[in-house]
Structure 1
Amino acid sequence: MASYTLIVMSDSHGDREIVEEIKNHYLGKVDAIFHNGDSELPSSDPVWEGIHVVAGNCDYDAGYPNTLITRFPNVTIAQTHGHLYGINFMWDKLDLFAQEADADICLYGHLHRAAAWQNGKTVFVNPGSVLQPRGDVMEKLYAKIEVTDHKIVVSYYTRQHEPYPSLSQEFSR
């Protein structure tokens, strides 16, 4: 039985300190750390060592990839910022990206709104923004994803690493 713990953040918009804080809090304690873009930091910044990071619409450094596919035994993670998939208007292109990757989890950002939902086998996760939240929940958040052979649990945390339980969800695999 394989199980994994993932940390996901997004839309830090120049706040290097929070990226470093979350990284230092979890590095070596989880299986992977992801940043879904709009960091506004150079792609060569040492803070990215040990973090899977993609380009957002506010990242002008060509050193970032637009998408990443990360594979663990029994789990495939598709990652993008989302702006290139038109997520402000529809989910079809993001869903197709996830299907093409045969993703169990699809990570995205861009909207600054924490959300987790499932379509088919794929669980889609937006960790919200660690700097500029939007929408109904105005808390600065990141996500922790726990994956087992039978379920995917998405939990949200504040910048102080305190649980934000009202958004947590569990999905069957």
Structure 2
Amino acid sequence: MASKTFIVMSDSHGDREIVKDIKERYLGKVTAIFHNGDSELPSSDTVWDDIYVVAGNCDYDSGYPNSLLIPFPGVTVAQTHGHLYHINFTWDNLIRFAQEGEADICLYGHLHRPAAWQEQGVLFLNPGSVSQPRGEINERLYAKLDIDDDKVSVSYYTREHQLYPALSKEFIR
């Protein structure tokens, strides 16, 4: 498998400029760009051209899908916001969603907290919120995944595109 790079953002809550900024920085330089919901923008907005995007609980436009399953050569990505899987209370439904889709990576948002963890062979990733962080890490973040045959490297970046090294992790595939 050729290596791949994914950019993942979530929970921009009406801040179109940060979505546009991240897109302009990475489009054509990475394999794919994802937004995990709660953009509060119209689904017809041209900012979504060439971005995989799903509906969040604050997205009332019916043009967004609730989830996506995207096969790339050598890696399958499951994407959702997370609220419909009740991730505030349990991980079981999100894990089942990823397993049923035979996903290697499951992207989610909703909690506004960056997290990367592996469960039953699936890498789960929350990029945090690019606009409204919550929890102990009070930084507006997005994530970058570098994927090769053996590992996935996860890095988090600030809105100013500066590496936030305390959250960097590597996972064996």
Q: Smaller-chain TM-score range?
A: over 0.9
Alignment correspondent of 1:8: 8
- What amino acid is aligned across from residue 18 of structure 1 in structure 2? I
In the alignment, structure 2 segments of 5+ residues that lack a partner are none
Root-mean-square deviation (CA, aligned residues, Å) is 0.5
Does residue 1:87 correspond to 2:116, yes or no? Answer: no
Alignment correspondent of 1:137: 137
Q: Percent identity?
A: 71
What is the Cα deviation at residue 148 of structure 1?
0.4
Q: Deviations 1:96-135 (Å, cap 9, x if unpaired)?
A: 0000011110000000000000002100000000000000
Runs of 4+ residues over 4 Å off in structure 1: none
SS at 2:170 equivalent? strand
What is the Cα deviation at residue 78 of structure 1?
0.1
Alignment correspondent of 1:169: 169
Alignment correspondent of 1:74: 74
Alignment correspondent of 2:28: 28
SS at 1:166 equivalent? helix
Alignment correspondent of 2:17: 17
TM-score (norm 2): 0.99
Cα distance in 2 for partners of 1:68, 1:110 equals 16
Cα distance in 1 for partners of 2:113, 2:152 equals 20
What is the Cα deviation at residue 46 of structure 1?
0.3
Alignment correspondent of 2:156: 156
TM-score (norm 1): 0.99
Cα distance in 2 for partners of 1:166, 1:120 equals 25
Does residue 1:62 correspond to 2:28, yes or no? Answer: no
Cα distance in 2 for partners of 1:38, 1:131 equals 10
SS at 1:40 equivalent? coil
- What amino acid is aligned across from residue 92 of structure 2 in structure 1? D
Alignment correspondent of 1:115: 115
Q: Deviations 1:60-104 (Å, cap 9, x if unpaired)?
A: 000000000111111000000000000000100000000001111
Cα distance in 2 for partners of 1:130, 1:161 equals 11
